[in-house]
């Protein structure tokens, strides 16, 4: 991984913040974008901006080709069987809501169970709470080990014959835990439940194979993997998507419309009502090209190195609590005794270091951790080991500034 060469592809990484070179460690919130993605967007708007699937004029054809070519790239990237299974959405939140309302709300009844983990982002939690409320289904949780890992024996005990939906994140955005979603899917399927995987934090950072994992639904966002904001994907097993009624109706998703009735277009368009985020999808295609060019195995290996280095460095510091397991994806959440996470984040920002402080949209997990919020440094393949040194030094300086003895 030639980080210094890679960094040149990302114009924003050359800027300064508060008089210091930017150290961008908020990648779990959103990633930065390489020139190839930025230029792809400019190219669309400058040269062939047009709506898709409508006119037969040249620009419309070009836009449609690029839009559908991006879908094929995404299919390949996550190893789906067919582009019919790749639904463009606004992002992970949108994708999971489509599953909850389009599948869960329709198929669940009182007495059924939905099982999720305590480390879910609100996007994979609140839709299930809502669905449980309207259907009378029960929302249950896997237990979690003290280090923030799931145990497959616990998983086996929690999923019962009543369980209809298991929904779990592949990577926790707070703890960095990598969950054994393939094994969990196998247990869910044994009991006749479907497996929904939140891939928001895994897809940007590791190889994903939805067929090998045997996910029934898999959701992710473009903006966390070098792509534009406002575009994401819902993968769904074709039979399930075929059986699903669209959550949104209107233009683009119909076959024939009469005064009092309508029939739906075939997949994937049935589930894509309205003018889609055309530039976003095309930009996401360019993001996939960039990631594939480096290789997801290599990205994952390198980020694990960064995470291990950060974990070891921060663990050594007095008065610093690091959350989550030793073996983790590329992020570290922590707190410094007696200093509010927002103050830590503000102090680091003064040194040009961007981290996130807060509950990270995982308030039940904060309760489980017995804290209100954490500071989180999250990495991508363009971060360097030097930047982790800078983070560690920034934390030491913050401790000094707020009156702690090192």
Interaction residues for ligand 7TS, span 209-238 (CB under 6 A): 221
Indicate whether 163 belongs to the interface with ligand 7TS (CB under 6 A): no
Sequence-ordered strand ranges (E) for 186-324: 194-198, 217-221, 232-236, 254-257, 262-264, 320-323
- Which of 198, 216, 272, 387 binds ligand 7TS (CB under 6 A)? It is 198
Question: Exactly one of 92, 135, 304, 335 binds ligand 7TS (CB under 6 A); which one?
Answer: 92
What CA–CA distance (Å, rounded) separates 393 from 389?
A: 6
The contacts of residue 115 (CB under 8 Å, 6+ apart) are 140, 141, 142, 158, 159, 163, 165, 166, 167, 193
**Distance between CA atoms of residues 281 and 20, nearest Å:** 34
Nearer to ligand 7TS, 113 or 120 (CB): 120
Single out the segment in contact with ligand 7TS by CB under 6 A; choices: 71-79, 88-96, 155-163, 186-194: 88-96
Q: Is 117 in the site for ligand 7TS (CB under 6 A)?
A: no
Q: How far is the CB of 52 from ligand 7TS (least distance, A)?
A: 22
Contact 27, 203 (CB under 8 A): no
203 binds ligand 7TS (CB under 6 A): no
CA atoms within 13 A on the CB side of 344: 27
Residue with Cβ nearer ligand 7TS (63 or 299)? 299
Buried b (16+ CB within 10 A) or exposed e, 145-165: eeebbbeeeebeebbeeebbb
Under 8 Å between Cβ of 103 and 78: no
Is 48 or 379 the residue whose CB approaches ligand 7TS more closely? 379
E strand spans, 8-91: 16-17, 20-21, 23-24, 86-89
Contact stretch for ligand 7TS (CB under 6 A) within 117-125, 204-212, 266-274, 297-305? 117-125
- Does 328 bind ligand 7TS (CB under 6 A)? Our answer is no
168 as an active site residue: the answer is no
Contact between 93 and ligand 7TS (CB under 6 A)? yes
The residue among 221 and 390 lying less far from ligand 7TS, judged by its C-beta, is 221
Nearer to ligand 7TS, 331 or 391 (CB): 331
Q: Does 123 bind ligand 7TS (CB under 6 A)?
A: yes
Query: Rounded CA gap, 315 and 391, in Å?
Result: 13
Question: Which of 240, 361, 366, 385 does the annotation list as catalytic?
Answer: 361
Does the protein bind ligand 7TS through residue 98 (CB under 6 A)?
A: no
Of 29 and 317, the one with the shorter C-beta distance to ligand 7TS is 29
* Cα distance between residue 165 and residue 184, in whole Å: 12
Q: Taking the CA atoms of the chain, what radius of gyration do you get in angstroms?
A: 22
Q: Name which of 135 and 202 has its Cβ closer to ligand 7TS.
A: 202
Minimum distance of ligand 7TS from residue 45's CB (angstroms): 23
Q: Which is nearer to ligand 7TS, 28 or 63 (CB)?
A: 28
What is the rounded CA–CA span in Å between residue 216 and residue 195?
A: 5
Residue with tokens 């070891």: 312
Whether the link from the prior residue into 268 is cis, omega within 30° of 0, is: yes
Give the shortest CB-122-to-ligand 7TS separation in angstroms: 8
Least separation in angstroms between residue 237's CB and ligand 7TS is 20
Q: Which stretch in 62-70, 85-93, 203-211, 305-313 sits in contact with ligand 7TS by CB under 6 A?
A: 85-93
CB of 403 to ligand 7TS, least distance (A): 29
Q: In this chain, which stretch among 86-94, 137-145, 205-213, 248-256 interacts with ligand 7TS, using CB under 6 A?
A: 86-94
- The SS3 of residue 363 is helix
Beta-strand relationship, 353-354 and 23-24? parallel
Q: 210-217, long-range: CB within 8 Å, 24+ apart, which pairs?
A: 210/78, 210/79, 210/80, 210/235, 211/79, 211/80, 211/81, 212/79, 212/182, 213/181, 213/182, 213/185, 214/182, 214/185, 214/186, 214/189, 215/181, 215/185, 216/185, 216/240, 217/95, 217/99, 217/103
Q: Is 173 in the site for ligand 7TS (CB under 6 A)?
A: yes
Number of residues that bind ligand 7TS (CB under 6 A): 17
Kindly state whether residue 200 participates in binding ligand 7TS, applying the rule CB under 6 A. Answer: yes
* Residue 205 binds ligand 7TS, judged by CB under 6 A: no
Applying CB under 6 A, the residues found at the interface with ligand 7TS are: 28-29, 91-93, 121, 123-124, 169, 173, 198, 200-201, 221, 356, 360-361
The residues that are catalytic are: 361
């Amino acid at each position: 991984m030639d980080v210094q060469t890679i960094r040149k592809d990302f114009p924003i990484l050359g800027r300064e913040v508060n008089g210091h070179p930017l150290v961008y460690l908020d990648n779990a919130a959103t990633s930065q974008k390489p020139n190839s993605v930025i230029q792809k967007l400019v190219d669309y708007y400058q040269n062939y901006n047009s709506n898709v699937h409508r006119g037969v004029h040249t620009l419309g054809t070009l836009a449609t080709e690029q839009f559908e070519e991006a879908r094929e790239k995404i299919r390949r990237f996550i190893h789906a069987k067919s582009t019919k299974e790749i639904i463009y959405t606004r992002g992970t939140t949108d994708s999971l809501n489509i599953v909850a309302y389009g599948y869960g709300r329709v198929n669940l009844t009182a007495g059924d169970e939905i099982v999720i983990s305590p480390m879910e982002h609100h996007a994979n939690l609140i839709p299930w709470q809502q669905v449980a409320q309207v259907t009378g289904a029960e929302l249950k949780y896997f237990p979690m080990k003290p280090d923030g890992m799931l145990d497959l024996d616990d998983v086996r005990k929690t999923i019962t014959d009543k369980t209809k939906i298991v929904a779990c994140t592949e990577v926790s955005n707070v703890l960095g835990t990598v969950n054994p979603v393939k094994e969990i899917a196998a247990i869910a399927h044994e009991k006749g439940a479907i497996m929904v995987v939140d891939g928001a934090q895994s897809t940007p950072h590791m190889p994903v194979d939805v067929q090998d994992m045997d996910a029934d639904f898999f959701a992710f966002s473009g903006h966390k993997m070098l792509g534009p904001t406002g575009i994401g994907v819902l993968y769904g097993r074709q039979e399930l998507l075929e059986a699903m009624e669209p959550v949104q109706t209107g233009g683009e998703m119909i076959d024939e419309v009469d005064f009092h009735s309508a029939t739906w277009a075939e997949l994937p368009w049935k589930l894509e009502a309205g003018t889609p985020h055309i530039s976003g999808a095309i930009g996401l295609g360019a993001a996939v090209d960039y990631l594939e060019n480096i290789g997801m195995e290599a990205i994952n290996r390198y980020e694990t190195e960064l995470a291990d280095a950060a974990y070891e460095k921060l663990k050594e510091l007095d008065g610093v609590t690091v959350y989550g397991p030793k073996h983790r994806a590329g992020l570290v959440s922590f707190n410094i005794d007696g200093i509010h996470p927002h103050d830590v984040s503000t102090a680091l920002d003064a040194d040009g270091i961007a981290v996130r402080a807060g509950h990270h949209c995982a308030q039940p997990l904060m309760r489980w951790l017995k804290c209100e919020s954490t500071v989180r440094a999250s990495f991508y393949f363009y971060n360097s080991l030097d930047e982790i040194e800078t983070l560690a030094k920034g934390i030491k300086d913050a401790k000094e500034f707020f009156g702690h003895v090192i």
